[in-house]
Amino acid sequence: MTELVHYAIEDGVATITLDSPHNRNALSRQLVGELFERLDRAAADDDAKVVVLRSAERVFCSGADLSEAATGSMEEGARAIVDLQRRILAHPLPVVTRLAGPVRAGGLGIVAASDIVVCSEEVSFAFTESRLALAPAVISLSVLPRLTSRAAYDTFLTGRTFDATEAAAMGLVTRTVPDAHLDETVAEVCTELAKAHPQGLRETKALLARPILANLEAGAEDMIALSARLFGSDEAREAMLAFLSRRS
């Protein structure tokens, strides 16, 4: 199989790159499995001080792999997305996510779980689940603690596309910068993080992540069940197949 997630280490920065252009970095079983392995590898890498999550091309993540979701049970997939958020939140190293292009649906769970998110001004976002007879169930575990209530109602219910400026205002991303300054800003963030003592960085991250992790653990099973029920419904299967047909 072609590798979908790459790992590289340089100057204390472990870079994890999503590279599945055929489905716009959708969260397929293979991609999520490789992402788990790369995150674990970074945690065990003595040379790594910071993790950077990014995409190889402009699209960061299109959400769930609907071709898999439309043809099988989604409980396993929902559980994996919960575990992915948990691993990012509980990772011993700070996780900096670099966004150069669109993020949709399940991909926003990665964004919300990340510690710092640096975003090009050209990036767009959307919680598209409601338009596919679904709900942003499992990703709500990390997303809702980041957003204001009004922003959550607006974006979850409508499924509309919103821009980087709105995403920063509602707390979904840390900062937005012109596209030409994206890599420079990510490098500056990593340099600042590397100045901290490893123990101070690890323990401070754990302190900050504690309430979001508690929310995740308390609601995980309910949200997994809700996600599996909705993905398995006739309404969602019909909507997903129609979407896939239009896209092809």
pLDDT computed for residue 72 by the predictor: 60
Comparing C-alpha atoms, which of 128, 143, 134 is closest to residue 227? 134
Domain harbouring 65, CATH code: 3.90.226.10
Q: Provide the β-strand partners of residue 18.
A: 5, 55
Please report whether residue 204 resides in a domain: no
Please report whether residue 194 resides in a domain: no
CB-based burial label for 44 (10 Å; 0-12, 13-18, 19+):
exposed
Please report whether residue 224 resides in a domain: no
Q: How many residues does the chain have?
A: 248
Q: Which single residue is written with the structure tokens 């609601």?
A: 219
Q: What is the mean pLDDT of the chain?
A: 96
pLDDT computed for residue 243 by the predictor: 87
pLDDT computed for residue 70 by the predictor: 62
Please report whether residue 53 resides in a domain: yes
Please report whether residue 144 resides in a domain: yes
Comparing C-alpha atoms, which of 209, 81, 77, 220 is closest to residue 141? 220
pLDDT computed for residue 73 by the predictor: 66
Pick 244 or 63 by higher pLDDT. Answer: 63
DSSP code string of 120-187:
ETT-EEE--GGGGT---TTTHHHHTTTS-HHHHHHHHHH---EEHHHHHHTTSSSEEE-GGGHHHHHH
Q: For 62-86, what is each residue's pLDDT tens digit?
A: 999 988 876 666 899 999 999 999 9
Domain around 146: 5-181
Query: Three-class SS of residue 106?
Result: coil
Q: Strand pairing of 95-99 and 116-120?
A: parallel
Please report whether residue 11 resides in a domain: yes
Task: Please name the residues in contact with 140: beta carbons below 8 A apart, sequence gap of 6 or more.
Answer: 156, 219, 223
CB atoms within 10 A of CB 154: 16
**Element of type H or E holding 247:** helix 234-247
Number of folded domains in the chain?
A: 1
pLDDT band at 191 (very low <50, low <70, confident <90, very high): very high
Does 154 score more than 80 pLDDT? yes
Please report whether residue 238 resides in a domain: no
